[in-house]
Amino acid sequence: MIRFIDLSGQITGNIHDEDEDYEDRRFAFYNTVYDKFCEFDSSQDWDSIDEFISYFTTDKHNPYHEDIDRFLSLIPKDFFGPNHKIHQLP
């Protein structure tokens, strides 16, 4: 099973509250079957949907190459802000 992991503030130590700063967002995906973070094109974490898509689609050894919609659907709709729309592939 693949899990979405919110890494926001984990490196900087920021604590998010009701005045949340959506600029400091970072996320990853964790594979519970293999007990490790998913890695695409040498990266295990991303700070935007576009950055994730870029790494995901350029990784020539990506075992999930046909599952990008599955990964995108795991990102909470309000993760990047209350009015942010998750990128959809054409």
Residues in contact with 69: Cβ distance below 8 Å, sequence separation at least 6, in sequence order: 89
The total of structural domains in the chain comes to 1
Q: What is the mean pLDDT of each run of 10 residues along the chain (90 residues)?
A: 91 53 82 97 94 96 95 91 59
DSSP 85: P
* pLDDT tens profile 18-30: 555 556 789 999 9
How high is the pLDDT of residue 20?
A: 54
- In a domain? residue 17: no
Strand partners, 46: 27
Query: Could you tell me if 62 and 71 are in contact, meaning their C-beta atoms sit under 8 angstroms apart?
Result: no
Q: Sort strands 27-31 and 36-37 into parallel, antiparallel or unpaired.
A: antiparallel
The residue segments making up the domain with residue 89 are 1-12+25-90
**Inside any domain, residue 18:** no
